Chain A
Amino acid sequence: MKWRKNSSGSFYDANESSVVYFDPRSGDTHLLSDFAAYVVQQFGEQPRTTEQLLNQILPTVEQGDIPHLTDSLPGVLEDLVTLDILKRE
């Protein structure tokens, strides 16, 4: 299964544990966890599989966070689909 970003929105990142995301397609503004926002930022025009995303994200995070982030990624992707920020392909 692949995931694709629905549109390119704007972020407000104040170095806190949450990030504001404005989705121009739905007009909705979301308060995302910093990790969820980071996941959204990994998407370009191309769709990604969960594995591709993990390969992209894990080298950039601290060693100790890897198991936790690996576990939470599928749930984060589902949530982002529910918010209509990502879609499944």
Chain B
Amino acid sequence: MSFLLQQLLLHPRRILDLDNAQLNQLISQARSSNLLASLAMELASEHLENQLSPSVTRHFQSALLIHEKQKRDLDYDIEKIRLALDSIGEKLVLLKGAAYLLAELPVGRGRLISDIDIIVPLQSIDPTERALNEVGWESSYINSYNEYYYRKWGHEIPPLTHLKRGTTLDVHHNILPPTAGPNVDASLLFERLIEVKPGIFTLSRQDMVIHSATHLFHEGEFRHGLRDMWDLDRMLRDFPDQDPNFWKGLVDRGRELELLNSLYHGLNYAQLVFGTPLPDGIIKEAENLSRRLRKPFMDFLFLRAFQPDHPQCRQRFTSLALYLLYVRSHYLRMPLYLLLPHLARKAWMRHFDKKESLENEKTPEAI
């Protein structure tokens, strides 16, 4: 792995050796992988930002400002969501980016988020949605097919958007949809929550890692593959220091949640992409326990998907690899007979979603 962005995330000091063309390449790779603020934080931790020219530094500063603003908005929104859930006697449990930021974990340093993910028990989904509706979170899906799909086959309700603030909230009742194959008993997740601020919880460290790996290999979001791998790397480097028993139970927990396959791939590829230090034998252990996959084929898919989303990194087969992964991730989530109509509709609808973003390109932000 010799790509610029991966190198610089791990060894930020090397930025001082780059010429302008390489700096341009680095910043555009980081920007398109949603890792510009993460990289900026790595540079800041070694006080490198002032050693670069102002025309370069301003791009890092800009990304950091976005990150700072997201953290502030998150604090505000989370407090409102906590109160809404509290009114129905439900705990606020954060997932993914929102959890990393609120818990002030190293994995949250410079982490940009696009929405807030929370999880509640399945039986609380309806009261949760009603309580959130009352404080301004409304379903943004008026499109009946998507709505139907989410409710019938999903592990979350359609995304809610706050009328005034424009923030998006994903309410999950499981970390994988019921159609995914592995049958995750979500109640197990609720047994090991960590309270990070009064009334605000995250999954346990082991479950956060497993969920991150699961998300990486089961959701169709491989465009952010490198960012997700960076999340895993940061967690796997940090968590063992916080919890001496972290490694010990990780594989067992993966098996208990029936997510050993994802865990195995997550560990394996974090090590391949970022050289994440792992204790001896853990990959073997996870691999032996997990169902053997056709590994050479999987390597072909994953290593390409985890490159920054950037043509200088795109090897010849990347589009094919991305396509196959997208299909695979849907295959993992849904019985095959459901797969084709959904993909077809999704491609069709995406056309309109995307077009909208350009039409709004000049819409000034609300204040």
Contacts and interface: CB of A to CB of B under 8 A. Distances in A.
A26 B76 CA distance: 6
A25 interface: yes
Interface in A2-30: 25-29
B358 interface: no
Contacts of B76: 25-27
B73 interface: yes
A29 B72 CA distance: 15
A28 B72 CA distance: 12
Give the dominant DSSP class at B's interface: helix
A81 B367 CA distance: 18
Contacts of A25: 76
Interface in B24-73: 69, 72-73
Contacts, number: 8
A27 B65 CA distance: 14
Nearest to A26: B76
Interface in B71-91: 72-73, 76
A29 B164 CA distance: 13
Nearest to A24: B72
Interface residues of A, number: 5
Contacts of A27: 69, 72-73, 76
A28 to B, nearest CB: 7
B334 to A, nearest CB: 39
Contacts of A26: 76
Nearest to A28: B367
Residue from the set B72, B73, B76 with the largest chain A CB neighbour count within 10 Å: B76
B315 to A, nearest CB: 42
Contacts of A29: 367
A26 B72 CA distance: 8
Contacts of A28: 367
Nearest to B164: A28
A7 to B, nearest CB: 10
Interface string B339-367: 00000000000000000000000000001
Contacts of B69: 27
A27 B76 CA distance: 9
A10 to B, nearest CB: 14
B167 to A, nearest CB: 11
A47 B228 CA distance: 45
B139 to A, nearest CB: 23
A26 B80 CA distance: 11
A16 B145 CA distance: 52
Contacts of B72: 27
Nearest to A22: B367
Nearest to B165: A26
Residue from the set B69, B73, B367 with the largest chain A CB neighbour count within 10 Å: B367
Nearest to B72: A27
Interface string A27-63: 1110000000000000000000000000000000000
B113 to A, nearest CB: 16
Residue from the set A25, A26, A29 with the largest chain B CB neighbour count within 10 Å: A26
A27 B366 CA distance: 11
Nearest to B69: A27
Interface of A: 25-29
Given A27-B72, A27-B76, 5 more contacts: A25-B76, A26-B76, A27-B69, A27-B73, A28-B367
Pairs of residues from A and B, 4 with the lowest C-beta to C-beta distance, nearest first: A29-B367, A26-B76, A25-B76, A27-B72
8 contacts: A25-B76, A26-B76, A27-B69, A27-B72, A27-B73, A27-B76, A28-B367, A29-B367
